[in-house]
Amino acid sequence: MTRTLTAATVTAALLGSVALADEVRVYNWSDYIDEALLEKFEQETGIELIYDVFDSNEVLETKMLAGGSGYDVVVPSGTFLQRQIQAGAFQQLDMAQLPNSGNLWDVIQDRTAQYDPDNAYSINYMWGTTGIGVNVPKVQEILGEDAPIGSLDLIFNPDNMAKLAECGVYFLDAPSEMIPAALAYLGEDPNSHDSDTIAKTEAVLGGVREHVAKFNSSEYINALANGDICVAFGWSGDILQARDRAWEADNGVEIAYNAPSEGALMWFDQMAIPVDAPNPEGAHVFLNFIMDAQNMADASNYVYYANGNAASKPLLEEDVISDPAIYPDEETLKNLYTTTPYDARVQRQVTRLWTKIKSGT
Amino acid sequence: MLRRWFLIAVPYVWLLALFLVPFLIVFKISLSDAAIARPPYLPVFSWGDSIIDFIRELDFENFIFLTEDDLYWKAYLSSLQIALIATILTLLVGYPVAYAMARAPEHWRPTLMMLVILPFWTSFLIRVYSWMGILSTEGFLNQFLLWVGVISSPLQILNTDTAVYIGIVYTYLPFMILPIYATLDRLDGSLIEAAEDLGCSRASAFWLVTLPLSRPGIIAGCFLVFIPTIGEFVIPSLLGGSDTLMIGKVLWEEFFSNRDWPVASAVAVVLLLILIIPIVLFQRNQQKQAEADR
């Protein structure tokens, strides 16, 4: 019996296709962790970490729904998580294996419970807002000193956009982010699932379409930092990372992030374990490692996103914890909205609308 | 006898395992309905159930849906157009290269052949990314043109259809060159000598002898470029603009954004029919012609 087992293990090792017990595969968003933490994890636990990245929830979701992704930990956003839980893509967390879960922040836990009831399947990794990143001197040069850099008027008013087109504007290629923003601009409920209401956004987005250089969800970090573009509608931490890269490069580019005054989407990226994860024990070890107060603080200090870990707050650097773009103050917090997943029919309408806006067909 | 059977069976098993079975799976999904499940469609076949019940749940509504929205046929047409133009461009660039290779001194040819194949040693993705670096407004090409003084402000090439054509021609060029080179290389040189002896100018000898004889290579090269280009996804999404409409992109959106695997499969089945029917007709026509010539 022992010999058979040994033979099986050797075969498995030789084939390499079967995950070994001391290996954890993590699939996370691009530009979303301090690489030093990955090395620390391997040193502390002796588990080999394989870390892959993606830049769209859709890609992750398709892997989850197809099954057999081979990943042990994945990081969908709240609305996507909710639907994937319904589809049976994740396994319940074993809290006994997660002693650090006491570090989690109840305020964020309450909010994520709307996607993952009782937070049974996921822990919060980071959260943030979707808003406007601008190259301040460039935009002020074009639109004047009183340019509305904190308002959706900057990106949805065709007059402003026609002028900004000369220095470059990128939008997220994510209808689940852009359509709520256009609804907020119109003064409608950003979380509307009503066909007629959603259809109104076509005029807003279509009206500025010709002035948008590119729809992309990851390239704007570098483009903003290099000065290739002067406005991006994107995720808070990404824009703050662009700000930092421009500082480091000292290239005269000065980036600022603002959550739009009309309301900003608040989103949550949740770590979860796929139902068919090859190494669920290792996945729990990774989640527990991430929930350590110091590790989580290091992660936030590096990527400029707020986290859902109350114990990490005293360990955060001053420019993170006291930056309202990262940890919003009470006033901004009131202005944030959340969204819920569309059903199949509305989702089709939204995707179709988005294709029409992008391609004109 | 057994050996002969075996030899005949191999290509059929190949076709069955690598084409027919995957196609039937895709076709079956195209007759299903989308659902919030894993995998995200219903019904899922399982051996225990009655096959009749299973088949009863299938229908053609996804194909009907494709006719209701003009997005799909516009995307098919636009893909056909892009693939056609790109194939012609690749032929125009590839033929002279293949011709020059076939006419080069014998001892150079292995080196030239190597140079054509060499780009395959680098990842396709990296090569497309490097085109982004070359073509962008801050890229090498614009910097060079500005430096030379040909243009005064950078050209917008990246994120346009022009960039897509450049990417396709660059990527698929070896697939055009190699089959044409193969036919030109085997071409009997005495035929051209004979044509010239009989009073043909070099140009008309090329036009009347070389070109017709290299036709099999041209056809093979064009198919090798045209077929993958129609469903191309990576090049238009990296080099093209948001308004570059191609069926590969529509397929991606059905599959990823709408999570509607059945409609995505229907799009794929129609794409396959669009590709296969003309090719089968063409092949049959060729065969008839070959028989008539005999």
- Domains of chain A, earliest start first: 20-127+267-333 (3.40.190.10), 129-266+338-359 (3.40.190.10)
Q: Give A221 or B274, the one with higher predicted confidence.
A: A221
What backbone phi and psi angles, to 5 degrees, belong to B268? -65, -40
Q: Which candidate from A87, A212, A361 shows the least CB-CB separation from B71?
A: A361
Q: What confidence category does residue B294 fall into, taking pLDDT thresholds of 50, 70 and 90?
A: low
pLDDT of residue B30: 93
- Please, what are the averages of pLDDT over each run of 10 residues along chain A (361 residues)? 45 45 91 94 95 92 93 95 94 96 94 94 96 96 94 96 93 94 96 96 95 89 91 94 92 93 95 96 96 96 94 94 90 88 91 88 74
Helix (H, G, I), strand (E, B) or coil at B24: helix
A297 to chain B nearest CA, in Å?
33
Report whether pLDDT(B19) > 60.
yes
Q: Which long-range contacts (CB under 8 A, 24 or more apart) does B152-160 make?
A: B158/B132, B158/B239, B159/A213, B159/A214, B159/B239, B159/B240, B159/B241, B159/B242, B160/B240, B160/B241
C-alpha R_g of chain B:
24
- Shortest CA distance to A227 belongs to which of B159, B161, B136? B136
Contacts of B244 in chain A (CB under 8 A): 359
Q: What confidence category does residue B48 fall into, taking pLDDT thresholds of 50, 70 and 90?
A: low
Contacts of A212 in chain B (CB under 8 A): 242
d(CA A222, CA A216): 12
pLDDT of residue A6: 46
- Answer whether A361 touches B (CB < 8 Å): yes
Place of tokens 């075969």: A11
Contacts of A356 in chain B (CB under 8 A): 71
Count CB-CB contacts under 10 A for residue A2: 6
Q: CA B229, B231, B234, B238: dihedral to nearest 10 degrees?
A: 80
Q: Which candidate from A64, A87, A359 shows the least CB-CB separation from B243?
A: A359
Q: Cβ separation of A344 and B260 shorter than 8 Å?
A: yes
Show which of residues 187-216 on chain B sit within 8 Å of chain A, judged by CB atoms.
none
Report whether A271 contacts A287 (CB < 8 A): yes
Q: One-letter amino acid identity for A24? A: V
Report whether A161 contacts A222 (CB < 8 A): no
Contacts of A65 in chain B (CB under 8 A): 37-40, 259
Angle (CA) A36 A37 A42, round 5°: 100
- Provide the terminal-to-terminal Cα distance of chain B, rounded to the nearest Å: 31
- Answer whether B153 touches A (CB < 8 Å): no
Q: Which candidate from B138, B245, B260 shows the least CB-CB separation from A348?
A: B260
Class of domain B70-259 as given by CATH: mainly alpha
Report whether pLDDT(B287) > 90.
no
d(CA B196, CA B194): 5
Q: Which candidate from B34, B38, B75 shows the least CB-CB separation from A89?
A: B38
pTM of the model: 0.81
Domain boundaries, chain B: 70-259
Contacts of A355 in chain B (CB under 8 A): 71, 250, 253
Please confirm whether the linkage preceding B39 is cis (ω < 30° from 0). Answer: yes
Q: Cβ separation of A355 and B74 shorter than 8 Å?
A: no
- Answer whether A17 touches B (CB < 8 Å): no
Q: Give the ranges where chain A is alpha helix by DSSP (H).
A: 2-15, 35-45, 57-66, 78-86, 106-112, 136-143, 153-156, 158-164, 175-186, 195-199, 201-208, 220-226, 236-249, 280-290, 293-303, 318-321, 330-334, 344-359
- Answer whether B3 touches A (CB < 8 Å): no
Report whether B53 contacts B47 (CB < 8 A): no
Residue A346's closest chain B neighbor by CA?
B258
- Percent of chain B past pLDDT 90, that is, above it, reads 54
Contacts of B6 (CB under 8 A, 6+ apart): none
Contacts of A305 (CB under 8 A, 6+ apart): A32, A126, A127, A128, A236, A237, A326
Q: What confidence category does residue B267 fall into, taking pLDDT thresholds of 50, 70 and 90?
A: very high
Half-sphere exposure of B238 (CA within 13 A, CB side): 19
Lowest mean pLDDT across A251-255, B104-108, B110-114, B273-277: B273-277
pLDDT of residue B49: 67
Residue B240's closest chain A neighbor by CA?
A214
pLDDT of residue A38: 96
- Answer whether B75 touches A (CB < 8 Å): yes
The pLDDT tens digits for B197-244 are 998 898 999 999 999 999 999 999 999 999 999 989 999 988 988 778
